[in-house]
């Protein structure tokens, strides 16, 4: 794999180069690839421009047009094996579906290359194809991100007018050792035209802050459409002491040399994976450091990364989050009206005095009056001096940019709203 002392990354695997998903079929399901092709040809949201069978790939290929853009998709019927570790805590499966997944042995595989521009739209299309072309869908397995999604999540996602969140496109996994620390790394970013991202030498006391740094950088890069970012400083936020958070990405063959006595995420751990297109996150502590290419491990900002840093969100992502939050807020409202013991917090875009900008702040819901919300501020603003914790205000549903519902059973955001329909 490696020669002499020079370390060279290997070529990407097919599940990194392509976005690979499976529409899982129940054991006794009679659905076949022929049914999939029939449904593809009649699916009204797309236009099938061309369809062939590739002897080289041993699968069907189709060129389709969706929302004024052309995509090439590949699909075939194949086997399925349930991997319990692919069920992440964020997703809720019924016991009956878990049992059915354990027995399932077939799936319709759909794989496609994402364009560098707007991978969220391409991901949404792939979910729509699986849901709308396989009526009896049991679950979706995202092979590229190594996760399983319940059919309820997939159906709500496919029915949405809003593209998926950046976090839907990848997962963050953790390899931990009590003695040698924690290695955080992603799966799923390569298909977006971005290297997978890693943080080395994290720990039990710092991994939460490092995790948040990683996902905010990943989301930033997805919104940037995979622009040339390696070694370039990216200004993604502020520590609570107003120090800028400027990160960069260094290819792993070079990055691991920056760590002495690396025991987790070292060469041995990369013999069977994480040895292709993967970058380690570092910090630039000053403009001079960036100019000279002097990068520093992320632990230089510990423990401040755990102390409520402010991460920036693009205007595009803020609009997407707001649209999804408003689209699904009626589900939270209906649940709250049935169970007054639960609590709803809403994020509101409040105008910053003297600026053409908004600060997005969390409030707790007190009561509804039609589409109006009576709320109380539950956090100190960064930019708005005339607001303080405990202040009461009225807003409308159209002001909401995010929400959270807390009950005895759930902590739910708009992406998890499908759980409210599973009772």
244/178 same-domain check: yes
Look at residue 196 and tell me if it is in a domain: yes
CB 36 within 8 A of CB 110: no
**pLDDT at residue number 3:** 41
Range of the domain at 296: 170-311
Q: Are 203 and 156 found together in one domain? A: no
Long-range contact set of residues 36-41: C-beta below 8 Å, sequence gap at least 24: 36/75, 36/77, 36/108, 36/133, 36/134, 39/132, 39/133, 39/134, 39/135, 40/64, 40/129, 40/133
Residues 162 and 176 reside in one and the same domain: no
Both 143 and 195 in a single domain? no
Last residue of a domain, one of 167, 194, 214: 167
Same domain, 329 and 400: yes
Residue 2 lies in a domain: no
> Tokens at residue 312, please?
């920036």
- Look over the chain and give the mean of its residue pLDDT values, rounded to a whole number: 94
Does one domain contain both 195 and 163? Answer: no
| 190 and 265 co-located in one domain | yes
Q: How far apart are CA 107 and CA 137, in angstroms?
A: 9
Q: Is residue 7 part of a domain?
A: no
Q: Are strands 278-283 and 244-251 parallel, antiparallel or unpaired?
A: antiparallel
Task: Show which of 285, 311, 337 is a domain's final residue.
Answer: 311
CATH at residue 334: 2.30.30
- pLDDT for the residue 269: 93
pLDDT, one tens digit per residue, over 337-357 is 998 889 999 999 999 988 888
Q: In whole angstroms, what is the distance from residue 368 CA to residue 395 CA? A: 10
* Same-domain check for residues 330 and 286: no
Q: Is the residue at 1 inside a domain?
A: no
Q: Is residue 8 part of a domain?
A: no
Query: Are residue 299 and residue 380 in the same domain, yes or no?
Result: no
Domain check: are 57 and 198 in the same one? no
List the chain pLDDT tens, one digit each, 423 residues: 444 367 899 999 999 999 999 999 999 999 999 999 999 999 999 999 999 999 988 999 999 999 999 999 999 999 999 999 999 999 999 999 999 999 999 999 999 999 988 999 999 999 999 999 999 999 999 999 999 999 999 999 999 999 999 999 999 999 999 899 999 999 999 999 999 999 999 999 999 999 999 999 999 999 986 567 788 999 999 999 999 999 999 999 999 999 988 999 999 999 999 999 999 999 999 999 999 999 999 999 999 999 989 999 998 999 999 999 999 999 999 999 998 889 999 999 999 988 888 899 999 999 999 889 999 999 989 888 889 999 999 999 999 999 999 998 889 999 999 999 987
Query: Are 218 and 329 found together in one domain?
Result: no
Cβ proximity of 129 and 37 under 8 Å = no
Instruction: Say if 42 falls within a structural domain.
Output: yes
- For residue 4, what pLDDT is reported? 39
Quickly count: other Cβ atoms within 10 Å of residue 396's Cβ. 12
In sign, the C-alpha dihedral spanning 404, 146, 87, 134 is positive
Question: Structure tokens of 311?
Answer: 């991460």
Residue 344 maps to a domain: yes
Contact 122, 112 (CB under 8 A): yes
Q: Which of 280, 311, 342 is the last residue of a domain?
A: 311
Domains of the chain: total: 3
Domain assignment present for 67: yes
331 lies in the same domain as 272 = no
Q: Tens of pLDDT along 120-145?
A: 999 999 999 999 999 999 999 999 99
């Amino acid at each position: 794999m490696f020669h002499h002392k020079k370390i060279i990354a290997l070529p990407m695997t097919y599940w990194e180069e392509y976005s690979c998903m499976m529409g899982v079929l129940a054991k006794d399901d009679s659905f076949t690839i022929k049914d999939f092709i029939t449904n593809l040809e009649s699916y009204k949201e797309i236009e099938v421009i061309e369809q062939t069978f590739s002897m080289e790939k041993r699968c069907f290929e189709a060129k389709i047009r969706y929302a004024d853009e052309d995509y090439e998709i590949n699909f075939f019927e194949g086997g399925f094996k349930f991997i319990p570790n692919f069920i992440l805590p964020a997703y809720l499966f019924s016991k009956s579906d878990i049992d059915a997944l354990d027995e399932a042995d077939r799936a319709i595989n759909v794989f496609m290359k994402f364009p560098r521009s707007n991978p969220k739209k391409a991901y949404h299309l792939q979910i729509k194809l699986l849901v709308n072309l396989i009526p009896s869908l049991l679950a979706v397995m995202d092979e590229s991100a190594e996760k399983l999604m319940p059919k309820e999540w997939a159906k709500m996602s496919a029915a949405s007018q809003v593209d998926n969140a950046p976090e839907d496109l990848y997962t963050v996994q953790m390899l931990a050792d009590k003695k040698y620390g924690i290695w955080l790394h992603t799966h799923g970013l390569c298909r977006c035209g971005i290297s997978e991202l890693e943080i080395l030498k994290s720990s039990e006391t710092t991994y939460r802050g490092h995790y948040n740094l990683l996902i905010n950088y990943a989301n930033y890069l997805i919104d940037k459409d995979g622009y040339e970012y390696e070694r370039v400083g990216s200004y993604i936020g502020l520590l609570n002491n107003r120090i800028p958070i400027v990160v960069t990405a260094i290819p792993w063959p070079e990055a691991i040399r920056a760590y002495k006595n690396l025991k987790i995420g070292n060469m041995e751990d990369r013999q069977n994976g994480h040895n292709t297109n993967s970058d380690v996150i570092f910090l630039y502590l000053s403009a001079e450091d960036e100019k000279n290419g002097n990068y520093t491990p992320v632990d230089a900002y510990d423990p401040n990364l755990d102390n409520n840093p402010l991460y920036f969100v693009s205007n595009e992502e803020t609009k997407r989050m707001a649209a999804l939050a408003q689209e699904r807020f009626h589900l939270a409202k209906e649940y709250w009206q049935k169970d007054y013991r639960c609590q709803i917090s809403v994020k509101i875009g409040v105008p910053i005095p003297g600026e053409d900008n908004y600060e997005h702040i969390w409030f707790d819901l007190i009561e509804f009056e039609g589409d109006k919300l009576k709320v109380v501020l539950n956090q100190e603003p960064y930019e708005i001096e005339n607001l303080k914790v405990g202040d009461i205000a009225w807003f409308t549903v159209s002001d909401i940019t995010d929400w959270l519902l807390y009950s005895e059973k759930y902590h739910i955001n708009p992406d998890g709203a499908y759980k409210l329909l599973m009772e």
